[in-house]
Amino acid sequence: MKEESEIMKEKKVFKPKSLMGYLLPNNVLCLSIIGIFAALICVLTMVISIPIPATQGFINIGDAGVMFAGLLFGPFIGGIAGGIGSALADIFLGYAIYAPATLIIKGLEGFIIGLISNPKQNNIKFNYRDIVAVVLGGLFMVLGYFIYEIILWGFVSALYEVILNGIIQFGISGLISLLIISVVRKNIIQSFPQVFDKVFLVEGRKEVELYES
């Protein structure tokens, strides 16, 4: 049996890389969650897609998935899954001209929502930060497409879609995501703490200690 002094010599300290308490998505579990939610967002975007001839775009409820991912997992998973899933849907539906902008806009939407709602700190209670996050993230999405469509199609056409994006896509998706997160977030996080230990830096633990066998 090894003496305590020998064990201490063999001890290694691993400091996980993080930003504001959110671990960088460089582990298998986080990458798997990103893949699952990217697929979910892609499907949600494709299931209900209403074409808008004026801008050769479409409105959808995929933002509900982007918002939900940010509200549940925070900025990294929400941003990466939101951008990739939404951009893939654009490509599959034949709107590839929007895919580069979507990757950035929806990615930043998920990132902003996850950052403001801060589920690491407010992961049990539904509160005002969730509402503020969805409102600001949704408004960023509307503004981002408005600017992109002005470049592509001009001000009048862009203004036509921004009204639909703001009222239908943003409004319905925001309502869906907030209703669902208020019901399921507490149960999900409490039921799978081992999952969220790979997503959030646990409060009060600045490092993870590993021992050699």
17-76 tens-digit pLDDT: 777 889 999 889 999 999 999 999 999 999 988 888 777 778 889 999 999 999 999 999
Q: Is residue 169 part of a domain?
A: yes
Q: Is residue 89 part of a domain?
A: yes
Q: Is residue 187 part of a domain?
A: yes
Supply the CATH number for residue 80's domain: 1.10.1760.20
Q: Is residue 209 part of a domain?
A: no
Is the CA virtual torsion 94, 95, 101, 104 positive or negative?
negative
**144 pairs with which residues across the strands?**
none
Report the number of distinct structural domains present in the chain. Answer: 1
Q: Is the pLDDT confidence value at 1 over 90?
A: no
Radius of gyration of the chain measured on its C-alpha atoms: 20
Question: pLDDT higher for 22 or 206?
Answer: 22
Type and span of the H or E element at 12: strand 12-14
Question: pLDDT higher for 6 or 73?
Answer: 73
Domain assignment of residue 114, given as a range: 25-200
Measured torsion, CA atoms of residues 198, 201, 203, 205, in degrees rounded to the nearest 10: 100
Q: Is the pLDDT confidence value at 2 over 70?
A: no
Q: What is the pLDDT of residue 125?
A: 81
142-199: pLDDT as tens digits: 999 999 999 999 998 888 878 877 778 899 999 999 999 999 998 998 899 889 988 9
Q: What is the pLDDT of residue 209?
A: 41
Question: pLDDT higher for 3 or 18?
Answer: 18
Q: Is residue 11 part of a domain?
A: no
**pTM of the full structure:** 0.86
> pLDDT band at residue 211, thresholds of 50, 70 and 90?
very low
Q: Is residue 140 part of a domain?
A: yes
Q: Is residue 87 part of a domain?
A: yes
> pLDDT band at residue 201, thresholds of 50, 70 and 90?
confident
Q: Is residue 3 part of a domain?
A: no
Question: pLDDT higher for 47 or 203?
Answer: 47
Residues 6 or more apart from 141 whose CB is under 8 A from it? 63, 105, 106, 109, 165, 169, 170
